[in-house]
Amino acid sequence: MKIGFDNHRYLTMQSEHIRERISQFGDKLYLEFGGKLFDDYHASRVLPGFAPDSKLQMLMQLSDHAEIIISINAADIENNKVRHDLGIPYDQDVLRLIQVYREKGLYVSSVVITRYTGQASINMFQYKLENMDIRVYHHYSIEGYPNNVSHIISDEGYGKNDYVETTRPLVIVTAPGPGSGKMATCLSQLYHENKRGLKAGYAKFETFPVWNLPLKHPVNLAYEAATADLNDVNMIDPFHLEAYGITTVNYNRDVEIYPVLAAMFEGIYGSCPYASPTDMGVNMAGNCIIDDEVCQEASHQEIIRRYYQSMNRLIKGEATKEEVYKIELLMKRAKITTDARLVVPVANALAAETGAPAIALELQDGSIVTGKTGDLLGASSAALLNAVKVLGGIDDAIHLISPDFIEPIQTLKTHYLGSKNPLLHTDEVLIALSMCAATDSNAKLALEQLPKLAGCQLHATVVLSPVDMKTFKKLGIEFTTEAVYKNKPL
């Protein structure tokens, strides 16, 4: 994989910049962490070389000075809101985040439940947290938020919220997803700290959009594609342009809320330390791109992947047509079509030729292998076996798994376990391959090629089964599918 981003430089620059921002305010800095803290796979895809846990590694350099607050919206707990990338509810993700941070030696001091109204389900969640020695605080809905600044910055506004006890100079405020109240948590704390005579500051760490890349740069367009369901839009920061005469990029929600934030700062401190939303940020990612062409191409591929994801979510009733239209428009702005994802036309051509589901898989060297539906194997399994043959230099005519070995497994599936589909899924094929590897050197060699599939690109002409999707994810294969079911479900 070609590298376009210097991760080592990023870790060094980012931690130094945050230290500088802490010293700017003196007593304490509340740093709102947008995006994913330790599994930022979007960033690693559009900035090749960016490690998914880069932000976590950077924080670990500051671990002696930092503590973490996690915000979660009470309504998201009640409504069982789910993270699409992980398939788990927000409240479970909070528990997962706490566990990961603790394992890395980071101090999670508390959880703030925002928009709390005394719900019974929330109290049960609080009980779980407190059993984990996590302090829980409540923040409430404020009438007139965010525009009635005088009411918000009063004892009837932020003053009604619990004051979160913190002990370290850097307080990271993160959340399982958007709409959790991170910014409101930070500002509420600034109000309470000021009442106690402490000078605390606020800054925002959001990787995207990259403020010092052009508005229509593919990296920034890919961010819009990733947030199409939130209706976020990248835009020129008018406040930064007016203050400094320099063009920078921010997104609509920060630009829209900035006048309110400035008024809140003035209400708390008498003046605002920032002349623009861009000033509030501490992101150094744009300074660490070392090959712009590589990042542009990676971002084009990400936009196409997001298009297929939205199409699939649309047929499941999880997305709107407007979301799909927005990504189609972004593809036009980037001057790309789905055929720019090389596996797409290959898979579709094979499906048209065979009249059955087909798969194309691009290996790291750019070569493409295919898989078609047969009597014993589905297209996913066929593509997987063909790929490891190519990677291992194994003759295509060699059977890695004997048909005589596959047929008893099919009998088990259909006659004894009641499955209607006799074709082997990818997980079943890998188990069969590993069993053959005990006595067959070719099967053993093929099995050893699996780590080389990480980062490979795959396209399927029908929606994959949950089993195959899970297997490809575990192998690190980045896949897309046409929004077509092999058998239309209810």
Has residue 222 been placed in a domain?
yes
- Residues 259 and 374 grouped into a single domain: no
Choose the final residue of a domain: 288, 303, 328: 288
Is the domain of 247 the same as that of 363? no
Domain membership of residue 311 (yes or no) is no
Residues 6 or more apart in contact with residue 300 via CB below 8 angstroms? 218, 222, 334, 336, 340
| Residues 149 and 234 reside in one and the same domain | yes
Counted residue by residue, the chain has a size of: 490
- Out of 273-277, 359-363, 395-399, 404-408, pick the least confident: 404-408
Q: Are 117 and 265 found together in one domain?
A: yes
Residues 180 and 266 in one domain: yes
> Quick check: is 325 in a domain?
no
Q: Are residues 281 and 395 in the same domain?
A: no
When pLDDT is averaged across residues 259-284 and rounded to a whole number, the result is 90
Is 50 exceeded by the pLDDT of residue 490?
Answer: no
Q: How many domains does the chain have?
A: 2
User: Above 50 in pLDDT, residue 286?
Assistant: yes
Retrieve residue 464's tokens: 């994959």
For residue 216, pLDDT beyond 90 = yes
The count of other CB atoms within 10 Å of the CB of residue 341 is 23
Give the DSSP letter string of 431-483: HHHHHHTTT-HHHHHHHTTGGGGTT-EEEESSPPPHHHHHHHHHHT-EEEE-S
Question: Could you say which of 288, 316, 335 is where a domain stops?
Answer: 288
Task: Compute the average pLDDT of residues 256-279.
Answer: 89
Mean residue pLDDT across the chain: 92
Q: What is the band of 443 on the pLDDT scale with cuts at 50, 70, 90?
A: very high
- 315-323, Cβ contacts within 8 angstroms, sequence gap of 24 or more: 315/463, 315/483, 315/485, 318/84, 319/229, 320/229, 323/228, 323/229
Is residue 241 a part of any domain in this protein?
yes
- pTM for the structure as a whole: 0.89
**Residue 189: how many other CB atoms lie within 10 Å:** 25
State the CATH number of the domain containing residue 402. Answer: 3.40.140.40
pLDDT digits (tens, 9 = 90+) for 127-155: 999 998 999 999 999 998 888 888 999 99
pLDDT digits 0-9 by tens, 228-254: 988 789 999 999 999 999 999 998 988
pLDDT in tens, 74-132: 999 999 888 877 778 999 999 999 999 999 899 999 999 999 998 888 999 999 999 98
User: Are residues 163 and 49 both part of a single domain?
Assistant: yes
Which of 291, 314, 311, 292 minimizes the C-alpha distance to 303?
311
Return the pLDDT at 421: 75
Identify the CA nearest to 351 among candidates 486, 481, 468, 461. Answer: 461
Give the whole-angstrom CA distance, residue 83 versus residue 147: 29
Is residue 279 situated within a structural domain? Answer: yes
Coil, helix or strand for 112?
Answer: strand
Q: What's residue 449's pLDDT?
A: 97
Q: What is the mean pLDDT of residues 31-55?
A: 89
pLDDT confidence of 488, banded at 50, 70, 90?
A: low
Residues 350 and 253 in one domain: no
| pLDDT tens sequence across 460-478 | 999 999 999 999 999 999 9
**Same-domain status, 179 and 93:** yes
Mean pLDDT score, 24-44: 85
Task: Write down the number of H helices and E strands in the chain.
Answer: 20, 14
Q: Which two tokens stand for residue 213?
A: 């890349």
Q: List the domain range (segments joined by +) for residue 274.
A: 7-288
Looking at the domain assignment, is residue 165 inside a domain? Answer: yes
- Closest by CA to 188, choosing from 169, 160, 225, is 160
The predicted pLDDT at position 182 comes to 93
The reply to whether 283 and 375 lie within a common domain is no
* pLDDT score for 34: 82
**248 and 378 assigned to the same domain:** no
- Domain final residue, candidates 267, 288, 309: 288
Residue 446 domain-assigned (yes or no):
yes
Query: Is residue 332 in some structural domain?
Result: no
Q: What CATH number is attached to the domain comprising 140?
A: 3.10.630.10
Q: Are the beta carbons of 373 and 421 closer than 8 angstroms?
A: no
Tell me: do 227 and 359 sit in the same domain.
no
